[in-house]
Amino acid sequence: MYSRELITFITVADKGSFLKAAEELYYTTPATIMNRINKLEQTVGVKLFERTNQGVILTAAGHSLYEDSKKIIELADTAMAHAKEIAKSEQAIIRVGTSILRPCRTLVDLWSKIDDGTLPYRIQIVPIDDEPNSLDTALLKQIDCFVSPCDATDWKEKFNILLLEHIPCRIAVPRKHRLAKRKSLCWADLDGENFMILKQGLSPILDEMRDEILSKHPKVKIVDAPSRYDTLIFNACEQNNYLMETLDIWKDVHPSLITLPMEWDYGMPYGVVYAKNHAPSLQSFIEKIKEIIR
């Protein structure tokens, strides 16, 4: 916005010395500073400093240039700040929902890789409710997207989903349960236990798990979760000493539940859920995420 010579000139005038100006501007010797001042004097066509054994003193012409230069720099800084404020006000806001069961950490980490300071949008984190109906309503009215396990049958019909990864299904075990001290579990460990999963028809993957239990592990007692998981279901699991299908991202949801690996091959798709009718800025944001995950 303004030349290095001008900055150097003002620094020399303020410090009264080429050596002190070099130290202020992080140069090892004052030679670079002296060369810049000489170049500036040649460009302007007048002498700006009187050189003395004690340092340098502004000439009358130098003093005039000094005062005007400070005004120029102040105006330039104000102009840049003003331009940045206008650009900021023009940025679209991407409203990212976050909750206990659907934390936005993954998306924020991706955003840190995407944002170079020039993108025409910015992130706003919006708290949301994990209650199923509230979650769907929020996506249509209050937020633009959230990150979540995304195997829900109705979501695939109502919303767009950008898959980020597959995460393994786990088992949540109450701390007072006999299996709580195990390092991992297998199907034989679940014999005779009450095992909570989503009711049939909500998740194709968990429907497949249910079918395996019914056909191959009849001693496991299935307990239907009434809807998509929320904190009330985690509370019910702990209070009734149930085992429960869960994910690593939920290991800290309830302090009295322990998340253990299970010897099975079930995994859950995990990604960004967003409305089918969305703003161009959100589509641009999604495309940026696609570039990163590719």
State the pLDDT confidence band at 292, using cuts at 50, 70 and 90: confident
Nearest in space to 106 (alpha carbons), one of 164, 166, 167 = 164
User: Please, which pLDDT band fits residue 293 given cuts at 50, 70 and 90?
Assistant: confident
pLDDT at 3: 75
pLDDT at position 243 is: 97
pLDDT at 126 (0 to 100): 92
Question: Collapsing DSSP states into helix, strand and coil, what is residue 277?
Answer: coil
pLDDT of 130 above 60:
yes
The total number of residues shown for the chain amounts to: 294
67-120: per-residue pLDDT in tens? 998 888 888 888 777 766 655 555 688 899 999 999 999 988 888 888 777 777
Average pLDDT over residues 111-133: 81
Q: Which two tokens stand for residue 109?
A: 């980490």
Furthest CA-CA distance within the chain: 98
Residue 239 confidence class, pLDDT cut points 50, 70, 90: very high
**Helix (H, G, I), strand (E, B), or coil: what is residue 184?**
coil
Collapse the DSSP code of 42 into the 3-class scheme (helix H, G, I; strand E, B; otherwise coil) and give the result.
helix
**Do residues 190 and 267 lie in contact, with contact meaning Cβ atoms separated by under 8 Å?**
no
pLDDT mean over 163-174: 96
- Does the pLDDT at position 235 exceed 60? yes
Residue 274: name the closest of 261, 287, 257, 265 by CA. 287
**Taking 80 as the threshold, does the pLDDT of residue 268 lie above it?**
yes
Q: Exposed, middle or buried by CB within 10 Å (0-12, 13-18, 19+), for 208?
A: exposed
Other Cβ atoms closer than 10 A to 283: 12
What integer best gives the mean pLDDT of the chain?
Answer: 89
Which pLDDT score, from 0 to 100, does residue 2 have? 64
pLDDT in tens, 32-57: 899 999 999 998 999 999 999 889 99
Determine the pLDDT at residue 117: 72
